[in-house]
Amino acid sequence: MTRRERTVDVLVVGAGPAGLGAAAELAASGVRVEVLEREQSAGGIPRHCHHGGFGGRGGRAGGGLSGPEYALRCVAAAERAGATLRTGITVTGWAGPRTLDATGPGGLERITARAVLLATGARERPRSARLVPGSRPAGVYTTGELQQAVHLHHQHIGTRAVVVGDEPVGHAAAGTLRVAGVEVVALVTGRPPEPLAVLRRGPGAPVLSRTTVTGLTGRGRLAGVTVRHEDGRTTTLRCDTVVFTGDWIPDHELARRGAVALDPGTRGPAHDTSYRTGEPGVFAIGNLLHAVESAGTAAAEGRAAAAPVLRHLATGSWPAGRTALAVEAPLTWIAPNLIGPGGEPPLDNRFVLRTGRRRAAPLFEVRQSGRLLHRQRLLLPARPGVPLHLSADWLDRADPHGDTVRIRMR
């Protein structure tokens, strides 16, 4: 008994908002599209984000739906359009350029597609990956694990928690902790305090800024989190639970195993404004590209990928060399990060970026071979963990076969 071999037009890996968005759009245009999801139910991360804020494009405050409601809506849209959704199926590797191997309770499969869409999402770096030293007690979570423990499994968490991180996801973690009856002692962030923090929907617990976690203590169960303030002061926050939030890393295993080139900044597949990766016929969408954006953005990317996928199915063409986009510190990444040959604009005619440090009145400069292509002042301050947008109006001035385009923020 071996692998069942099949072919489809389009194979989507991952049934989160991105994969489902692409599937809905493609199926609606009559393409045979199959989505494989390794979890038992489709919907991706929103399935266990019980807070509101889903459905819009602008992050936390962007929409009126809860995560599970939003997940159901994404699933329904894809199914209505005629996409085939198969859950409990894990894509395990590649057998050829557009041929993937999968495992499910029904056996092993080998599926060849004319186009492959990778939509495998992103995860938070756990404590170990952040090299936080100390003991290895129980009570250490990422937001993903915490949310599943609370909302899907109704598990007992603890009594006093520290949240590491002060991005929207850290606030979501604090909310989940409170729902679970856990007191949130503090949110800890290495960043400076937010001047206008009081105006935003706050986390409801003190934020210790310019502070890093230097270790965990406690044998068996967590007893405390030791922290160091920028000025050298150290203290131990007594708690039995700690949640490491944010610090995203795209789930790029499949991409890397398929020799899809990554962008050094995002750690997701390098891709152009049409979601084309370096591998012919392989597209990438959603948080795999850039770690966490809102679910609405991931879904919109999925839908936007449909047109280039259809074009590829019709013509079979794939750009050879493409010009890369590169950012300078404090910028950490830009997506998309390749310029397509036809100068196609990105989603909403703008690039998404992140900064590692705050800038009050940021000014973007875009250059190629020293030549200034574009200059743009942002109205809002640039803050770590929050999307920045750069207009794509300069794209037609760039040479798509020329040197790397460099983006600087001052």
Partner 1 sequence: MTRTVTRAGQPLPEGQDYDVTVIGAGVVGTAIARELARHRVRTALVEASDDIGNGTSKANTAILHTGFDAVPGSLEARLVREGQRGLAVYAAETGIPVERVGALLVAWDQEQLDSLPGLLTKAESNGYHAARLLDASRLAEIEPHLGPGALGALEIPDESVICPWTTPLAFATQAVLAGVHLHLDCRVTAIETGTEPGNEPGTGIHTLTTTRGPLRTRALINAAGLHADEIDRLLGHDAFTVTPRRGQLIVYDKLARDLVRHILLPVPTAAGKGVLVAPTVFGNVLLGPTAEELDDKAATESTEDGLALLREKGRRILPRLIDEEVTAVYAGLRAATGHEDYRIKEYPELRYVAVGGIRSTGLTASMAIAAHVTDLLARTGLDLGAPVELPHVTMPTLGEAADRRPYLDAVLIAADPAYGTVVCHCERVTEGEIRDALDSVLPPRSVEGLARRTRAGNGRCQGFYCGARLRALTARTRP
Tell me if 18 contacts ligand FAD by CB under 6 A. yes
Give me the half-sphere count of Cα atoms (radius 13 Å) on the Cβ side of residue 33. Answer: 31
Tell me if 253 contacts partner 1 by CB under 8 A. yes
Nearer of residues 136 and 401 to partner 1, judged by Cβ: 136
CB of 277 to ligand FAD, least distance (A): 15
Using CB under 8 A as the binding criterion, the count of chain residues that bind partner 1 stands at 42
CB of 399 to ligand FAD, least distance (A): 32
Cβ pair 243, 164 in contact under 8 A: yes
Cα–Cα distance, 380 to 389 (Å, whole number): 11
Nearer of residues 308 and 362 to ligand FAD, judged by Cβ: 308
Record the tokens describing residue 78, joined without a space: 């894809």
Tell me if 45 contacts ligand FAD by CB under 6 A. yes
**Segment 22-41, which members bind partner 1 (CB under 8 A)?**
38
Closest CA to 142 of 153, 120, 156, 126: 126
**Segment 57-116, which members bind partner 1 (CB under 8 A)?**
88, 90, 92, 103-108
Tell me if 149 contacts partner 1 by CB under 8 A. yes
| Identified binder of ligand FAD from the candidate list 3, 28, 39, 210, rule CB under 6 A | 39
| Identified binder of ligand FAD from the candidate list 3, 8, 32, 38, rule CB under 6 A | 38
Cβ pair 258, 321 in contact under 8 A: no
Tell me if 124 contacts partner 1 by CB under 8 A. yes
**Strand ranges (DSSP E) for 303-383?**
323-327, 331-335, 338-339, 350-355, 363-368, 371-377
Nearer of residues 164 and 292 to ligand FAD, judged by Cβ: 292
CB of 84 to ligand FAD, least distance (A): 14
CB of 106 to partner 1, least distance (A): 7
Per-residue contact string for residues 272-301; x = within reach of ligand FAD by CB under 6 A: --------------xx----xxxxx-x---
18 binds, among partner 1, ligand FAD, none (CB under 5 to 8 A by kind): ligand FAD
* Polymer length in residues for the chain: 410
**Segment 208-267, which members bind ligand FAD (CB under 6 A)?**
251, 254
Q: Which stretch binds ligand FAD (CB under 6 A): 14-22, 125-133, 218-226, 391-399?
A: 14-22
Cβ pair 332, 344 in contact under 8 A: no
Helix then strand then coil, in percent of the chain rounded to 5, is 25, 35, 40
CB of 37 to partner 1, least distance (A): 11
Tell me if 287 contacts partner 1 by CB under 8 A. no
- What's phi and psi for 79, nearest 5 deg? -70, -45
Q: Which stretch binds partner 1 (CB under 8 A): 16-24, 213-221, 329-337, 390-398?
A: 213-221
Question: 10 Å Cβ neighbour count for 32?
Answer: 16
Tell me if 141 contacts ligand FAD by CB under 6 A. no
Cis peptide bond upstream of 308, omega within 30: no
Record the tokens describing residue 42, joined without a space: 């489709």
Cα–Cα distance, 332 to 264 (Å, whole number): 9
Cα–Cα distance, 76 to 352 (Å, whole number): 28
What DSSP letter does each residue of 101-166 carry, written as one string?
A: EEEETTEEEEEEEEEEEE---EEEPPTGGGT--B---B-EEEHHHHHIIIIIS-----SEEEEE--
- The residues that touch ligand FAD, with contacts defined as CB under 6 A, are 13-19, 36-39, 44-46, 49, 51, 53-54, 60, 62, 90-91, 119-121, 143-144, 147, 169, 172, 251, 254, 286-287, 292-296, 298
By CB under 8 A, name the binding residues for partner 1: 1-3, 38, 88, 90, 92, 103-108, 123-129, 131, 133-136, 141-142, 144-145, 148-149, 152-153, 155, 214-215, 217, 219, 249, 253, 256-257
